[in-house]
Structure 1
Amino acid sequence: MTLRAILAGTGSALPRTRVSNAELAERVDTSDEWIVERTGIRFRYIAEPDETTATLGAAAAQQALAAAGLQPSDIGLIILATATPDNTFPASATKVQALIGAPDCIAFDVAAVCSGFLYAVTVADSMLRTGAAKHALVIGSETFSRILDWEDRTTCVLFGDGAGAVVLSAKDVDDDQGILATRLHADGKYSGMLYVDGGPSTTGTVGHVRMHGREVFRHAVTNLASVLGEVLEDTGLSPSDVDWVVPHQANRRIIDATAKKLGLDPARVVMTVDQHANTSAASVPLALDLAVRDGRIKRGDLVVLEAMGGGFTWGAAALRV
């Protein structure tokens, strides 16, 4: 028997307001054709003032708990990945803890932007296997609309708000169920390629997203293909063994190019970027929950998750559902 972190449940939450490309074009110098051609995005969700990273994260967490058949009192660890916390401190994970009614447990945030969920999954996997908790809530939640420059059409059209969550449970298994391998990377010399031009220690302001899109695209395809190859090598599997890839939903062209580079069947790649845009740390768990709930991802499937974000940070995980 082997102790592994298994996927016990998934959940997601989206703000009430959905904004189409056509609606966005009424306030920004852009068009539906321009956005779709370059990104594949058609809609995004924008949080209302009463919707925050913590409230969206709590709603996603409650769905994941229900899917896992667990109560908040069963949770011993909450990790929330976000680049847009409710406050500088306390951690938004502690706000989620209070909102869902979980008792005293470990709760903290992880900041790795779009790769944050992969970082959080890796940390949770390690903690579960060392006995720190039996059940963990791992959440990716963002309100990126709060840090967008709505005069910059090269960035504001790309992002949206939302949350996704999973329950991971420590379980002794005699097969290959659960998280099989994870890989994480970071290279800080590229931090100026994708960043926010503000912060408590620098400007004392929140700031706005800034991005050098062409450079980000180039590094994303290379890094994502590489890290996907690494986790498959770690598990002794090949691309043909993969049932589903759940990628970070940043740009359809990046997703397609990465799949092509690895020889992955495009029909086996979960795509939600057209409906949600780039929800940063929330995009992988949002897409995972959608594919689980619509029946595409089934028990026994080999699923690979991947993401790259500002930093640069990037990572991947292979799991048997």
Structure 2
Amino acid sequence: MTSKIIGVGNYIPSETITNLFFDKHIFLNEQGDALKEDNASITRKLQKITGIVERRYAHSNEVTSDLGLIAAQEAIENSGIDPETLDYIIFAHNFGDVKFGTIQSDMVPSLASRVKHSLQIKNNFCVAYDVLFGCPGWIEAVIQANAFIKSGIAKRCLVIGAETLSRVSDIHDRDSMIYADGAGAVVLESVEDGSGIQSHLSASFTYKEKDYLYFGKSYNNESCPSVKYIKMDGRKIYEFALTNVPEAMKQCLDKSGFSIHDLDKIIIHQANEKMDEAIVERFYQLYNTPLPPNIMPMVIDKLGNSSVATIPSLLAMILKGELEKHQIEKGNVVLFASVGAGMNINAFVYQF
């Protein structure tokens, strides 16, 4: 017995933020000094490295749980199930609900509980809880849901990934340009037909790597020092990812019993286009196999990095036929992988 995806949904906010949005920003370094490059040069460099041309922000009246609810509703409708039959609702995020124009995170009650309430589910034994696991949170939530299903204590689970990173980014930090908002969700159901999740792997690198992504003060030293924003050491993250993610992907694929030649798609966290391309290229090098064409769909150029939402949102787009060059057919083998704050890495192999 394993878990099969029977419904997908996503919510991509309609507010498009192009790179021109940052033209008037005052970007500073960690010491609070203005960067020597002009903003046009900074954004060009960002686009060259990350591939990001534009990103989406949530509307001012929306919070993370609102985005997750919309994706969840679509996934439930797509699955055709009665939501009262759900055994678990697991909501992956990192910063809770942060209202527009405020600095306070709200996580009580859990975002999963808020979604369950909004879905008007009366079943008290549908358990709703949140997962905080960095950008790999949605994959980790899927792995947990699969464990519940394989153990026999659950038959159906709703797994959501949503984030509004635009609310927790420092406008004086050029890294803020990569962040975006969005949501994705899937409904998982127990199956015994050989399809579904074939293997999975998770790891937390905390001994030296814990603070590669962290919450820190604004680069504007005149800002309130008690207000913190998402911060990262981009170089260390890049080196960490290229060293560790390909090997984790290989371990996961080897556990599944499939060969590198069986893979039809790799759906990886949309964090940085160059980094993702390098990860996948190194992954194939571990098998002494050339990188096949069209193996890795990318939407970061239009949607930016929405953390836990990137993978489920991208999956929904593919299965809904919204990406012209990428399709997933019955029997296809797909490797999902992510890396992020913690530092955490995870992956699973799935046969459709």
Shorter chain as denominator, the TM-score bin is over 0.9
Mapped contact 1:256–1:266 kept (Cα < 8 A): no
* Structure-2 residue corresponding to 1:178: 196
**CA distance, structure 2, for counterparts of residue 71 and residue 126 of structure 1:** 22
Q: How does 1:135-214 map to 2 (within 5 A)?
A: 135-153=156-174, 155-173=175-193, 176-189=194-207, 190-197=209-216, 207-214=228-235
Matching of residue 297 in structure 1 with residue 322 in structure 2: no
* Structure-2 residue corresponding to 1:34: 45
1:85 deviation in Å?
Answer: 1.0
1:265 deviation in Å?
Answer: 2.2
**CA distance, structure 1, for counterparts of residue 185 and residue 50 of structure 2:** 25
Aligned-pair identity (%): 30
Task: Give the AA of the match of 2:339.
Answer: M
Q: Which runs of 4+ in 1 moved over 4 A?
A: 203-206
Structure with the higher helix share, 1 or 2: 1
Q: 2:200 is paired with a residue of what secondary structure? A: strand
Q: 2:130 is paired with a residue of what secondary structure? A: strand
* Structure-2 residue corresponding to 1:60: 71
Matching of residue 265 in structure 1 with residue 292 in structure 2: yes
1:193 deviation in Å?
Answer: 1.1
Task: Give the AA of the match of 2:298.
Answer: M
2:259 to 209, 215, 238: 238
Mapped contact 1:259–1:266 kept (Cα < 8 A): no
Q: 2:25 is paired with a residue of what secondary structure? A: coil
1:250 deviation in Å?
Answer: 0.2
1:25 deviation in Å?
Answer: 2.5
Pick closer, same or farther for the CA change 1:41–1:90 going to 2, 3 Å: same
Q: How does 1:249-260 map to 2 (within 5 A)?
A: 249-260=270-281
Matching of residue 48 in structure 1 with residue 32 in structure 2: no
**CA distance, structure 2, for counterparts of residue 297 and residue 197 of structure 1:** 40
**CA distance, structure 1, for counterparts of residue 295 and residue 145 of structure 2:** 26
**CA distance, structure 2, for counterparts of residue 172 and residue 206 of structure 1:** 50
Q: How many residues end up aligned between the 2 structures?
A: 312
Task: Give the AA of the match of 1:118.
Answer: I
* Structure-2 residue corresponding to 1:13: 11
TM-score normalised according to structure 1 size: 0.93
TM-score normalised according to structure 2 size: 0.85
Task: Give the AA of the match of 1:309.
Answer: G
Task: Give the AA of the match of 1:89.
Answer: V
* Structure-1 residue corresponding to 2:32: none
Mapped contact 1:28–1:151 kept (Cα < 8 A): yes
Matching of residue 287 in structure 1 with residue 305 in structure 2: no
1:187 deviation in Å?
Answer: 1.2
1:206 deviation in Å?
Answer: 6.2
1:115 deviation in Å?
Answer: 0.7
Mapped contact 1:15–1:51 kept (Cα < 8 A): no
Q: How does 1:30-109 map to 2 (within 5 A)?
A: 30-31=39-40, 32-86=43-97, 87-103=106-122, 104=124, 105-109=126-130
**CA distance, structure 2, for counterparts of residue 204 and residue 67 of structure 1:** 46
**CA distance, structure 2, for counterparts of residue 270 and residue 134 of structure 1:** 30
Matching of residue 314 in structure 1 with residue 345 in structure 2: yes
1:172 deviation in Å?
Answer: 2.3
Unaligned runs of 5+ in 1: none
Alignment RMSD:
1.8
1:107 deviation in Å?
Answer: 0.6
Pick closer, same or farther for the CA change 1:314–1:7 going to 2, 3 Å: same
**CA distance, structure 2, for counterparts of residue 226 and residue 63 of structure 1:** 35
**CA distance, structure 2, for counterparts of residue 311 and residue 266 of structure 1:** 32
